[in-house]
Structure 1
Amino acid sequence: MTTLPRTAPDTPTAETIDLWSRQMIEMQKMLLQPALLQDRTEPAPKVEEADDDMWDNMPV
């Protein structure tokens, strides 16, 4: 079994780094604005009223 020399991969070009950084910014925008990706006609999910009562009935 031969072991490969431990050399670092080639440094990416400035264009590649620029592309990566722009892609990262776009992904962060998508993660920060999930409401924009949802369909506007889709109604918002209703919050269950029973969840609030659950905490009131907890034994102390």
Structure 2
Amino acid sequence: MLDKRDFSREELDAAYKKLEDDLMNDRITPDEHITRYNTLMKLENQPFGPPQLHEHI
């Protein structure tokens, strides 16, 4: 299991790619994929990028 620390973008991208490959090659189940994906999301500092400027209407 992954520990809670700051991961670089490259490390996270590689982990997502490996996760995708594991699913596509039937090494993990779809349910396990979801669990691992959610774990990776929690490790990201800002999973959807930095806040963007926006206008309140």
| TM beyond 0.5 | no
Higher RCO (CA 8 Å, separation ≥ 6 residues): 2
Q: What TM-score results when the alignment is normalised by the length of structure 2?
A: 0.38
Q: What TM-score results when the alignment is normalised by the length of structure 1?
A: 0.36
